[in-house]
Amino acid sequence: MLHGTIKAWPHLSAYEEDPTHWIQFDGITGLSVDGGDIGTFNGNGKKWWKKSCKVNKTLPCTDAPTAVTFYECNNLTVKNLRFRNSQKMHMNIQKCLNVTLSNLNVRAPEDSPNTDGIHVTETQNILITDSTIGTGDDCISIESGSKNVRITDITCGPGHGISIGSLGDNNSKAEVSNVVVNRAKLRGTTNGVRIKTWQGGSGYARNIEFMNIEVKNVSNPIIIDQNYCDQEEPCREQESAVEVSNLIYQNIRGTSASEVAIRFDCSKTVPCRDVFVKDVTLEAEGDGHTTASCDNVIYVNRGNLSPRCSSR
């Protein structure tokens, strides 16, 4: 039980021995962490944000601590906690099995760099539910090695939305499968539901469902980006790609802050396939209209779809 607030030490020199972690739970089976609705991890991140190369491009890019990491923890429960102003990511679930995260409240300013809410990597059988997340990066990010991920009843914003990836960076092999996002509300985020992969990677992201999602003033409400490139110099074109397949987008409604509300930017050599779209209606926030951009994707439409793809 966590009663009250644990606040990070403000002096950056305290992290010289391990600049990537603040608090870590390592190799524990049957762990339960309960905040009783008041327990708070406060990363005290402002000093770290000022040193970020994403905030000040004249600075070199350096590591910052993830606030709370659960590493190789099986049968893990984390509930009724608040996370505030992490130095970098708020919570990392890594190499865990059988995890339940519920009733979490995660907050950091919209301009805080790399402050993902919940980061899931190499983890199987995880439920994330009944939580509110607003940060400067992804509300929830799902990385390679993750399987059987269920996300329900999430409110997200501000932030970069709910993301699978990025996958396949540095020509790596990535595997993500059996992901369900159901009953999410996204408000003012820079993306809605997103899959992002680098050229040159391999492996797959498959069996993924996005269902019953409300968006309000969201840029890129639905996006697949198989040409993701998060670096200053342009990424060179490569033939290899992480295969994206067996996707369902169902009952997704609301308003887009950008004209292109649906963007399927898939690989020329490894197109997105078996993409099922049903009852999706995305209108413009305010005046204007929305469009869909669909490149190298094989999709099936059932029921209402607005806007419609102009190419396949």
Q: Is the peptide bond before 10 cis (omega within 30 degrees of 0)?
A: no
Q: 239 and 299 share a domain? A: yes
Q: Quick check: 311 pLDDT over 70?
A: no
Q: Same domain, yes or no, for 146 and 191?
A: yes
* pLDDT tens figures, 253-287: 999 999 999 999 999 999 999 999 999 999 999 88
Report d(CA 120, CA 177) in Å as an integer: 13
CATH of the domain at 193: 2.160.20.10
State how far the Cα of 283 lies from the Cα of 25, in Å rounded to an integer: 44
**Cis peptide, bond prior to residue 65, ω within 30 of zero:** no
Nearest residue to 167 (alpha-carbon basis) of 206, 113, 215: 206
Domain that holds residue 31: 1-137
**Tell me: the pLDDT tens digits for 171-204?**
999 999 999 999 999 999 999 999 999 999 999 9
Q: What is the pLDDT of residues 134-153, one digit of tens each?
A: 999 999 999 999 999 999 99
Among residues 77, 109, 137, the one where a domain terminates is 137
Q: Are residues 157 and 117 in the same domain?
A: no
Active-site positions read 137, 160
Q: DSSP code of 47? A: H
Contact between 298 and 274 (Cβ < 8 Å): yes
Answer with the residue of higher pLDDT: 14 or 253.
253
pLDDT of residue 57: 87
Residue 7 identity: K
How many other CB atoms sit within 10 Å of the CB of residue 12?
A: 14
Same domain, 19 and 118: yes
What's the pLDDT band for 312 if we cut at 50, 70, 90?
A: very low
Among 109, 137, 165, the domain-final residue is: 137
Tell me which of 98, 113, 137 is where a domain ends: 137
Residue 68 has phi, psi (to 5 degrees) of -130, 125
Length of the chain: 312
Q: Could you tell me if 288 and 159 lie in one domain?
A: yes
Residues 159 and 296 in one domain: yes
Are both 252 and 154 inside the same structural domain?
yes
Q: Say whether both 117 and 253 belong to one domain.
A: no
Clarify whether residues 104 and 4 are in a common domain.
yes
pLDDT at 191: 98
Question: Residue 190, SS3?
Answer: coil
**Exposed e or buried b per residue across 63-90, where buried means at least 16 C-beta atoms within 10 angstroms of its C-beta:** ebbbbbbbbbbbebbbbbbbbbbbbbbb
Same domain for 166 and 73: no
Residue position matching structure tokens 């887009």: 256
Residues 113 and 161 in one domain: no
Tens of pLDDT, residues 97-143: 999 999 999 999 999 999 999 999 999 999 999 999 999 999 999 99
How many domains does the chain fold into?
A: 2
* Biggest CA pair distance of the chain: 58
What is the Cα–Cα distance from 279 to 252, expressed in whole angstroms? Answer: 7
Task: Say if residue 7's pLDDT is above 80.
Answer: yes
**Dist. CA 94–CA 24, nearest whole Å:** 11
Does 279 share its domain with 187?
Answer: yes
- The pLDDT assigned to 233 comes to 85
Place of tokens 């962490």: 33
211-235: pLDDT as tens digits: 999 999 999 999 999 999 988 788 9
Q: For the chain, give the mean pLDDT.
A: 96
pTM: 0.96
295 pLDDT above the threshold of 90: yes
